[in-house]
Amino acid sequence: MTETTHAETRIHPGPRRTALVTGASSGIGLAFAERLARDKYDLILVARSRERLEDLAKRLTEAHGHEVEVLPADLTQPAELRRVEERIRGERTLELLVNNAGFGTVGRFAELDPDREEDEIRLNVIALVRLARAALAGFVERGHGSIVNVSSLAAFQPDPFTATYGATKAFVNSFTEALHEELRETGVRVQALCPGFTRTEFQERAGVDTRTVPDFAWMDPGPVVEASLAALRRGDVICVPGATNRGIAAFSRLAPHVLTRRISAAMMRRGLV
Protein backbone atom coordinates (compact mmCIF):
# COMPACT_ATOMS: atom_id res chain seq x y z
CA MET A 1 0.00 0.00 0.00
CA THR A 2 1.30 3.43 -0.79
CA GLU A 3 1.33 6.29 1.66
CA THR A 4 -1.42 8.05 -0.25
CA THR A 5 -3.84 5.11 -0.05
CA HIS A 6 -4.67 5.80 3.58
CA ALA A 7 -4.15 9.54 3.63
CA GLU A 8 -7.12 11.74 4.45
CA THR A 9 -8.19 13.48 1.23
CA ARG A 10 -10.38 16.08 2.92
CA ILE A 11 -8.62 19.42 2.81
CA HIS A 12 -10.98 20.95 5.42
CA PRO A 13 -12.37 18.20 7.65
CA GLY A 14 -15.80 19.08 9.03
CA PRO A 15 -19.06 17.50 10.09
CA ARG A 16 -20.35 16.85 6.57
CA ARG A 17 -18.58 17.14 3.23
CA THR A 18 -20.02 16.52 -0.20
CA ALA A 19 -18.26 15.77 -3.48
CA LEU A 20 -19.91 15.90 -6.90
CA VAL A 21 -18.33 13.68 -9.55
CA THR A 22 -19.29 13.87 -13.23
CA GLY A 23 -18.80 10.80 -15.37
CA ALA A 24 -19.07 8.65 -12.24
CA SER A 25 -20.60 5.65 -14.00
CA SER A 26 -17.25 4.25 -15.22
CA GLY A 27 -13.48 4.60 -15.38
CA ILE A 28 -11.72 7.43 -13.59
CA GLY A 29 -14.96 9.00 -12.30
CA LEU A 30 -16.06 5.72 -10.75
CA ALA A 31 -12.64 5.36 -9.09
CA PHE A 32 -12.99 8.90 -7.67
CA ALA A 33 -16.45 8.03 -6.30
CA GLU A 34 -15.18 4.84 -4.63
CA ARG A 35 -12.18 6.61 -3.09
CA LEU A 36 -14.15 9.61 -1.85
CA ALA A 37 -16.84 7.36 -0.34
CA ARG A 38 -14.08 5.59 1.62
CA ASP A 39 -12.99 9.03 2.82
CA LYS A 40 -16.46 9.73 4.24
CA TYR A 41 -17.67 12.19 1.65
CA ASP A 42 -21.34 12.30 0.82
CA LEU A 43 -21.59 12.01 -2.94
CA ILE A 44 -23.57 13.37 -5.86
CA LEU A 45 -22.98 11.18 -8.91
CA VAL A 46 -23.59 12.51 -12.43
CA ALA A 47 -23.59 10.67 -15.78
CA ARG A 48 -26.20 9.71 -18.38
CA SER A 49 -26.74 6.08 -17.35
CA ARG A 50 -29.11 6.13 -14.38
CA GLU A 51 -28.94 2.39 -13.85
CA ARG A 52 -25.16 2.25 -13.52
CA LEU A 53 -25.19 5.22 -11.12
CA GLU A 54 -27.93 3.63 -9.01
CA ASP A 55 -26.02 0.34 -8.77
CA LEU A 56 -22.90 2.23 -7.70
CA ALA A 57 -24.83 4.36 -5.19
CA LYS A 58 -26.36 1.26 -3.62
CA ARG A 59 -22.98 -0.44 -3.37
CA LEU A 60 -21.27 2.62 -1.83
CA THR A 61 -24.08 3.31 0.64
CA GLU A 62 -24.05 -0.31 1.82
CA ALA A 63 -20.25 -0.29 2.17
CA HIS A 64 -19.78 3.12 3.79
CA GLY A 65 -23.17 4.31 5.04
CA HIS A 66 -22.92 7.80 3.57
CA GLU A 67 -25.45 9.65 1.49
CA VAL A 68 -25.06 8.97 -2.21
CA GLU A 69 -27.33 10.89 -4.54
CA VAL A 70 -27.80 9.98 -8.18
CA LEU A 71 -28.23 12.86 -10.60
CA PRO A 72 -28.52 11.52 -14.15
CA ALA A 73 -27.83 14.17 -16.80
CA ASP A 74 -26.52 14.48 -20.32
CA LEU A 75 -24.11 17.37 -19.83
CA THR A 76 -24.09 18.22 -23.55
CA GLN A 77 -27.75 19.28 -23.20
CA PRO A 78 -28.06 22.86 -21.89
CA ALA A 79 -31.22 22.23 -19.82
CA GLU A 80 -29.73 19.16 -18.14
CA LEU A 81 -26.46 20.97 -17.51
CA ARG A 82 -28.41 23.82 -15.85
CA ARG A 83 -30.03 21.27 -13.50
CA VAL A 84 -26.62 20.13 -12.30
CA GLU A 85 -25.44 23.74 -11.93
CA GLU A 86 -28.47 24.48 -9.75
CA ARG A 87 -27.83 21.39 -7.64
CA ILE A 88 -24.24 22.58 -7.09
CA ARG A 89 -25.33 26.13 -6.15
CA GLY A 90 -27.81 24.72 -3.65
CA GLU A 91 -25.34 22.42 -1.87
CA ARG A 92 -23.74 24.34 0.99
CA THR A 93 -21.67 21.31 2.05
CA LEU A 94 -20.04 20.90 -1.36
CA GLU A 95 -16.30 20.58 -0.82
CA LEU A 96 -15.06 18.97 -4.03
CA LEU A 97 -16.15 19.09 -7.67
CA VAL A 98 -14.59 16.49 -9.96
CA ASN A 99 -15.18 17.68 -13.53
CA ASN A 100 -14.37 14.31 -15.08
CA ALA A 101 -16.99 13.46 -17.75
CA GLY A 102 -15.40 13.60 -21.18
CA PHE A 103 -14.87 11.71 -24.41
CA GLY A 104 -12.59 11.77 -27.43
CA THR A 105 -13.02 11.43 -31.17
CA VAL A 106 -10.37 10.01 -33.47
CA GLY A 107 -9.86 10.34 -37.22
CA ARG A 108 -9.22 12.89 -39.93
CA PHE A 109 -11.02 16.02 -38.83
CA ALA A 110 -12.39 16.67 -42.34
CA GLU A 111 -14.21 13.32 -42.16
CA LEU A 112 -15.53 13.42 -38.59
CA ASP A 113 -19.20 14.08 -37.72
CA PRO A 114 -19.41 17.82 -36.91
CA ASP A 115 -22.25 17.26 -34.42
CA ARG A 116 -20.13 14.78 -32.47
CA GLU A 117 -17.22 17.25 -32.50
CA GLU A 118 -19.55 19.92 -31.12
CA ASP A 119 -20.77 17.58 -28.37
CA GLU A 120 -17.14 16.88 -27.48
CA ILE A 121 -16.57 20.61 -26.95
CA ARG A 122 -19.87 20.91 -25.06
CA LEU A 123 -18.91 18.14 -22.64
CA ASN A 124 -15.13 18.59 -22.29
CA VAL A 125 -15.20 22.40 -22.22
CA ILE A 126 -18.62 24.08 -21.82
CA ALA A 127 -19.95 21.77 -19.11
CA LEU A 128 -16.64 21.89 -17.25
CA VAL A 129 -16.59 25.70 -17.31
CA ARG A 130 -20.23 26.10 -16.25
CA LEU A 131 -19.95 23.57 -13.39
CA ALA A 132 -16.71 25.19 -12.20
CA ARG A 133 -18.45 28.58 -12.22
CA ALA A 134 -21.41 27.16 -10.30
CA ALA A 135 -19.14 25.69 -7.62
CA LEU A 136 -16.66 28.54 -7.30
CA ALA A 137 -19.06 31.22 -6.07
CA GLY A 138 -19.82 29.20 -2.93
CA PHE A 139 -16.24 27.98 -2.50
CA VAL A 140 -14.85 31.53 -2.56
CA GLU A 141 -17.55 32.78 -0.19
CA ARG A 142 -16.84 29.94 2.27
CA GLY A 143 -13.05 30.23 1.86
CA HIS A 144 -12.52 26.56 0.97
CA GLY A 145 -13.33 23.91 -1.63
CA SER A 146 -11.53 22.19 -4.50
CA ILE A 147 -12.08 21.49 -8.18
CA VAL A 148 -10.35 18.72 -10.13
CA ASN A 149 -10.68 19.27 -13.88
CA VAL A 150 -9.82 16.04 -15.65
CA SER A 151 -7.61 16.88 -18.61
CA SER A 152 -5.12 14.63 -20.42
CA LEU A 153 -1.53 14.25 -21.60
CA ALA A 154 -3.09 15.31 -24.91
CA ALA A 155 -3.16 18.86 -23.48
CA PHE A 156 0.59 19.37 -23.86
CA GLN A 157 0.88 19.40 -27.67
CA PRO A 158 -1.35 19.66 -30.74
CA ASP A 159 -2.88 16.24 -31.47
CA PRO A 160 -3.34 15.43 -35.17
CA PHE A 161 -6.09 12.84 -35.82
CA THR A 162 -7.67 13.69 -32.48
CA ALA A 163 -7.44 17.43 -32.98
CA THR A 164 -10.64 18.54 -31.25
CA TYR A 165 -9.98 16.34 -28.23
CA GLY A 166 -6.44 17.67 -27.79
CA ALA A 167 -7.67 21.24 -28.15
CA THR A 168 -10.38 20.73 -25.51
CA LYS A 169 -7.78 19.43 -23.06
CA ALA A 170 -5.34 22.28 -23.85
CA PHE A 171 -8.26 24.57 -22.95
CA VAL A 172 -8.75 22.73 -19.66
CA ASN A 173 -5.10 23.18 -18.66
CA SER A 174 -4.97 26.85 -19.63
CA PHE A 175 -8.30 27.57 -17.90
CA THR A 176 -7.29 25.73 -14.73
CA GLU A 177 -3.86 27.36 -14.47
CA ALA A 178 -5.46 30.79 -14.90
CA LEU A 179 -8.02 30.06 -12.17
CA HIS A 180 -5.25 28.84 -9.88
CA GLU A 181 -3.67 32.31 -10.03
CA GLU A 182 -7.02 34.11 -9.63
CA LEU A 183 -7.81 32.01 -6.58
CA ARG A 184 -4.57 32.60 -4.68
CA GLU A 185 -5.31 33.67 -1.08
CA THR A 186 -8.94 32.47 -1.31
CA GLY A 187 -8.38 29.02 0.21
CA VAL A 188 -9.85 27.40 -2.93
CA ARG A 189 -7.81 24.86 -4.90
CA VAL A 190 -8.01 23.87 -8.56
CA GLN A 191 -6.18 21.14 -10.41
CA ALA A 192 -5.87 19.92 -13.99
CA LEU A 193 -5.41 16.15 -13.80
CA CYS A 194 -3.57 14.93 -16.92
CA PRO A 195 -3.62 11.14 -17.22
CA GLY A 196 -2.07 9.17 -20.05
CA PHE A 197 -3.42 5.82 -21.24
CA THR A 198 -5.75 4.62 -18.47
CA ARG A 199 -7.71 1.35 -18.48
CA THR A 200 -11.30 2.59 -18.77
CA GLU A 201 -14.03 2.58 -21.41
CA PHE A 202 -12.54 5.71 -22.99
CA GLN A 203 -10.50 4.06 -25.79
CA GLU A 204 -13.33 1.74 -26.83
CA ARG A 205 -15.84 4.60 -26.90
CA ALA A 206 -13.40 6.64 -29.03
CA GLY A 207 -12.85 3.69 -31.36
CA VAL A 208 -9.10 3.66 -30.72
CA ASP A 209 -7.10 0.56 -31.53
CA THR A 210 -4.67 0.36 -28.59
CA ARG A 211 -2.92 -2.88 -29.59
CA THR A 212 0.32 -1.00 -30.32
CA VAL A 213 0.36 0.73 -26.92
CA PRO A 214 2.94 -1.04 -24.70
CA ASP A 215 1.90 -2.38 -21.29
CA PHE A 216 4.15 -0.02 -19.34
CA ALA A 217 2.28 2.98 -20.79
CA TRP A 218 -1.01 2.01 -19.07
CA MET A 219 -2.30 2.93 -15.63
CA ASP A 220 -5.35 1.76 -13.73
CA PRO A 221 -7.85 4.43 -12.65
CA GLY A 222 -7.19 3.87 -8.91
CA PRO A 223 -3.56 5.11 -8.94
CA VAL A 224 -4.60 8.04 -11.17
CA VAL A 225 -7.08 9.10 -8.50
CA GLU A 226 -4.55 8.63 -5.69
CA ALA A 227 -2.03 10.83 -7.53
CA SER A 228 -4.69 13.49 -8.07
CA LEU A 229 -5.74 13.62 -4.42
CA ALA A 230 -2.12 13.68 -3.21
CA ALA A 231 -1.42 16.58 -5.62
CA LEU A 232 -4.53 18.36 -4.36
CA ARG A 233 -3.24 18.18 -0.80
CA ARG A 234 0.07 19.67 -1.98
CA GLY A 235 -1.74 22.38 -3.94
CA ASP A 236 -0.24 21.37 -7.32
CA VAL A 237 -2.19 22.92 -10.18
CA ILE A 238 -1.05 20.39 -12.81
CA CYS A 239 -1.04 16.71 -11.88
CA VAL A 240 0.48 14.19 -14.29
CA PRO A 241 0.10 10.74 -12.72
CA GLY A 242 2.79 8.09 -13.26
CA ALA A 243 6.50 8.31 -14.08
CA THR A 244 6.12 7.43 -17.77
CA ASN A 245 3.45 10.08 -18.24
CA ARG A 246 5.54 12.67 -16.40
CA GLY A 247 8.45 11.94 -18.79
CA ILE A 248 6.19 12.38 -21.83
CA ALA A 249 4.72 15.60 -20.43
CA ALA A 250 8.19 17.01 -19.66
CA PHE A 251 9.33 16.30 -23.22
CA SER A 252 6.19 17.86 -24.70
CA ARG A 253 6.58 20.97 -22.57
CA LEU A 254 10.22 21.47 -23.60
CA ALA A 255 10.18 20.44 -27.26
CA PRO A 256 8.82 22.82 -29.92
CA HIS A 257 5.31 22.09 -31.24
CA VAL A 258 6.67 21.60 -34.75
CA LEU A 259 8.39 18.48 -33.40
CA THR A 260 5.77 17.18 -30.97
CA ARG A 261 2.89 17.53 -33.43
CA ARG A 262 4.89 15.60 -36.06
CA ILE A 263 5.63 12.82 -33.57
CA SER A 264 1.96 12.69 -32.52
CA ALA A 265 0.85 12.51 -36.15
CA ALA A 266 3.36 9.76 -36.95
CA MET A 267 2.26 7.69 -33.95
CA MET A 268 -1.41 8.07 -34.80
CA ARG A 269 -0.79 7.21 -38.48
CA ARG A 270 1.19 4.11 -37.52
CA GLY A 271 -1.08 2.57 -34.95
CA LEU A 272 -4.29 4.28 -34.30
CA VAL A 273 -5.90 5.70 -37.46
> Nearest distance from residue 103's CB to ligand NAP, in Å?
5
Q: What angle do CA 51, 136, 64 make, to 5 degrees?
A: 40
What's the CA gap between 99 and 22, in Å, rounded?
A: 6
> Is residue 244 a contact point for ligand NAP (CB under 6 A)?
no
> Nearest distance from residue 180's CB to ligand NAP, in Å?
19
Could you give the string, one character per residue 91-110, with x where binding to ligand NAP holds by CB under 6 A and - elsewhere? Answer: ---------xxxxx------
End-to-end CA separation in angstroms for the chain: 38
Among 36, 47, 97, 136, binds ligand NAP (CB under 6 A): 47
> Is residue 242 a contact point for ligand NAP (CB under 6 A)?
no
Among 205, 253, 257, 269, binds ligand NAP (CB under 6 A): 205
- Under 8 Å between Cβ of 9 and 233: yes
- Under 8 Å between Cβ of 11 and 235: no
> Is residue 83 a contact point for ligand NAP (CB under 6 A)?
no
Task: Tell me how far CA of residue 111 lies from CA of 117, 155, 273, in angstroms.
Answer: 11, 22, 12
> Is residue 48 a contact point for ligand NAP (CB under 6 A)?
yes
- Number of neighbouring beta carbons within 10 Å of residue 159: 25
DSSP state of 153: G
- Shorter beta-carbon distance to ligand NAP: residue 72 or 145: 72
> Is 165 among the catalytic positions?
yes
Catalytic residues: 165
Which residues sit at the interface with ligand NAP, rule CB under 6 A? 22-29, 47-49, 52, 74-76, 100-104, 123, 150, 152, 195, 197-198, 200-202, 205
